[in-house]
Amino acid sequence: MYQYDRYDQQMVDARVAEFRDQVRRRLDGKLTEDQFKPLRLMNGLYLQLHAYMLRVAVPYGTLNSTQMHMLGTIADKYDRGYGHFTTRQNIQYNWIKLEDAPDILAELSTVEMHAIQTSGNCIRNISADHFAGAAADEVADPRPYAELMRQWSSFHPEFSYLPRKFKIAVIASETDRAAMRLHDIGIRIHKNDAGELGAAFYVGGGMGRTPMISHLVREWVPLDRLITYAEACLRVYNRYGRRDNKYKARIKILLHEIGAEDYAAQVDAEYQQLLDQGVEPPFAELQRIRTFFADPPFVEGLSDGVDQSDPAFAAWVQQNTHLHRVHGYTSATISLKPVGGIPGDATAAQIHLMADLAKEFSFDECRVTHAQNIVLPHVEQRRLYELWQRLDTAGLATANLDNIGDIIACPGLDYCSLANARAIPLAQKISQRFSDNGKDAVIGELKLKISGCINACGHHHAGHIGVLGVDRKGRENYQLLLGGSEGADTSLGKITGPGFDEDGVVDAIEKTTEVYLAQRQDGERFLDTYRRIGMEPFKEALYG
């Protein structure tokens, strides 16, 4: 994986010093809170209901064990002994003191980490396929392109005060595991007929209160023009994105209002102009970055196959492992969704254990997924049982990946100052219900996503079942959505009808799954059945 050189280290150190100075000026009263707010946000620091929250960047979700250990250390030293992995492949700490923040950033910088641009109206930390470099179906490892863009987007002088936040995801396979079409820019690295790699740019996706699926703006950007084209995309947005209403300020609204074709034409004109400006790094820089993502020393000639005579292990293997491109290896997902647990939370001890396991079993590498789980990307199949036993002992072997218990949930009203309703306790109740009734495994793949307000941090629009918490006359109320998806077949969920109270929505979800179980044909997933039979049978069961 990528390692800093002295330049990268200098830049992060400079940022730590700058932020320390900003905090000092804030505490001295030289900066007003309004002036300080965007500065602290660009360093990942939010003021929440009870304390500051610090969001640490995990570029494209990739960590080595030293970095993972540091995340555990910070959880112990500065938080209450745990951290919360997020849908942007980052980690958040919910109990941070403002005056500690510069020290935390300084500690992070010793392991080549930071909290740069994890919030604010700037280009955010760049996400990628969490199986990058391991998945059998990828045409290339997408992370070198994400790293190239990380450097370009860090402290960008022109794009640090955009109309609104700006999220970029990079993938390099047909199957989209990064919700790429729901980003401001989604980049898909693909091959042309001549076998060359290029980048397709999708622009204008997003969730929030106006969910939209992105438009293909350019099918083919040569790899040695990536930065120039991205710069053109951002400049058109910076100049013409709306600034009169923060709810209409995302780039998706600009594309919606002027049309994707008009936007593409403007980007093209800007691109032609920028081609003469020398903003593109030399191809040698991309090559330099690529060398950091070379294959680890895989053992050659291993055969595929795992002894699954232990039924509990077999269930985990079938649910939580993913096809690797090298024979004899697999990618194993550690579910951070234990029955009745808080989605994405891990204790300091668990974080340290996962770091150790990454080192022992996966060439010193782990990944954070946008579904709030941890992946060990390169595990030898013949050592999988040993790994599973270690996880099981620590309560980390829940075999529920992509099932109804693998819930994505935002922090909700328990932590977040924007939320209208709690998301975590609801996720816990649902997880418990479907464990108690034994249906989690019977139902199979069913992606359930909960947001505590319309900002949609819990991705409810993209859930096969989505839940949106709203405030209804001072009481928490939950709307149910069906039919969303974030994959290659991206779609947005539709609301079933009137909302429910907390217990009511758990019952409603159970009824929804009963309709599915009664109607499913030939191994259909919930989503397939919904798409085949439509909303009516579900409405009938819920409200009839």
Q: Which is nearer to other proteins, 155 or 385 (CB)?
A: 155
Provide the minimum distance between the beta carbon of 26 and other proteins in the complex, in angstroms, as a whole number: 7
C-beta of 508: minimal distance to other proteins in Å? 42
* Residue 302 engages other proteins in binding (rule: CB under 8 A): no
Contact 395, 382 (CB under 8 A): no
Phi-psi map region of 112: left, alpha, beta (phi>0 left; psi -120 to 50 alpha): left
Kindly state the smallest distance separating residue 105's Cβ from other proteins, in Å: 15
The reply to whether 539 sits near other proteins by the rule CB under 8 A is: no
Query: Cβ–Cβ contacts within 10 Å for residue 4, how many?
Result: 14
Judged by beta carbon, residue 1 or residue 162, the one nearer other proteins is 162
Q: Are 58 and 351 in contact (CB under 8 A)?
A: no
Question: Applying CB under 8 A, which of residues 99, 137, 158, 471 lies at the interface with other proteins?
Answer: 158
246 binds other proteins, rule: CB under 8 A: no
Per-residue contact flags (x/-) with other proteins for residues 88 to 127, judged by CB under 8 A: ---------------------------------x------
**What is the tally of helices (H) and strands (E) in the chain?**
17, 20
Q: 16 vs 170, which CB is nearer to other proteins? A: 16
Looking at beta carbons only, is 143 or 378 nearer to other proteins? 143
Binding of residue 434 to other proteins (CB under 8 A): no
Q: How far is the CB of 217 from other proteins (least distance, A)?
A: 19
CB 426 within 8 A of CB 478: yes
* 40 sits near other proteins (criterion: CB under 8 A): no
CB 87 within 8 Å of CB 408: yes
What is the distance between the alpha carbons of residues 377 and 368, in angstroms, rounded to a whole number? Answer: 10
Nearest to 23 by CA among 9, 12, 11, 37: 37
Which of residues 18 and 524 has its CB atom nearest to other proteins in the complex? 18
**CA–CA separation, 493 and 41 (whole Å):** 30
Least gap, CB of 277 to other proteins (angstroms): 5
CA angle, residues 212, 215, 216, in degrees to nearest 5: 155
The residue (of 32 and 309) whose beta carbon lies closer to other proteins is: 32
Three-class SS state of 101: helix
Closest to other proteins by CB, 151 or 347:
151
List of residues 6+ apart from 289 with CB closer than 8 A: 2, 144, 147, 148
Residue 315 touches other proteins, criterion: CB under 8 A:
no
248-287: contacts with other proteins (CB under 8 A):
273-274, 277-279, 281-282, 284-285
Residues near other proteins (CB under 8 A), total: 46
Q: Does 218 bind other proteins (CB under 8 A)?
A: no
Cα atoms in the Cβ-side hemisphere of radius 13 Å centred on 535: 13
Gap between the Cα atoms of 96 and 105, Å rounded: 12
Q: Is 134 helix (H, G, I), strand (E, B) or coil?
A: coil
Site for other proteins in 348-377 (CB under 8 A): none
Q: Does 47 bind other proteins (CB under 8 A)?
A: no
Burial class (CB in 10 A: 0-12, 13-18, 19+), 337: buried
Rounded Cα gap, residues 251 and 166, in angstroms: 8
Question: What residues form DSSP beta bridges with 91?
Answer: 56, 85
Closest to other proteins by CB, 176 vs 270, is: 270
Instruction: Say whether residue 328 binds other proteins (CB under 8 A).
Output: no
Among 33, 300, 522, 536, binds other proteins (CB under 8 A): 33
- 77 touches other proteins by CB under 8 A: no
Asked if 223 interacts with other proteins (CB under 8 A), we say no
Cβ distance to other proteins smaller for residue 40 or 84:
40
Are 117 and 124 in contact by the 8 Å Cβ rule? The answer is yes
Distance CA 367, CA 59 (A): 10
State whether residue 218 is helix, strand or coil: strand
Per DSSP bridges, beta strands 465-472 and 448-451 are parallel
Residue 464 · residue 513 · CB < 8 Å: no
Contact between 3 and other proteins by CB under 8 A: the answer reads no
Burial class (CB in 10 A: 0-12, 13-18, 19+), 10: exposed
Among 97, 191, 239, 532, binds other proteins (CB under 8 A): 239
Given 62, 67, 94, 154, the residue binding other proteins (CB under 8 A)? 154
Site string for other proteins, 161-190 (x = CB under 8 A): xxx---------------------------
* Rounded Cα–Cα distance for residues 382 and 390 (Å): 15
Q: Are strands 185-191 and 168-171 parallel, antiparallel or unpaired?
A: parallel
Residue 478 β-bridge partners = 469, 500
Q: Of these, 66, 73, 151, 455, which contacts other proteins (CB under 8 A)?
A: 151
Taking CB under 8 A as the binding criterion, the range among 30-38, 55-63, 84-92, 411-419 that sits at the site for other proteins is 30-38
Query: Site for other proteins (CB under 8 A): which residue of 78, 95, 155, 385?
Result: 155
Using rule CB under 8 A, residue 157 touches other proteins: yes
Binding site for other proteins (CB under 8 A): 5, 7-8, 10-11, 14, 18, 21-22, 25-26, 29-33, 35, 38-39, 121, 151-152, 154-163, 235, 238-239, 243, 273-274, 277-279, 281-282, 284-285, 288
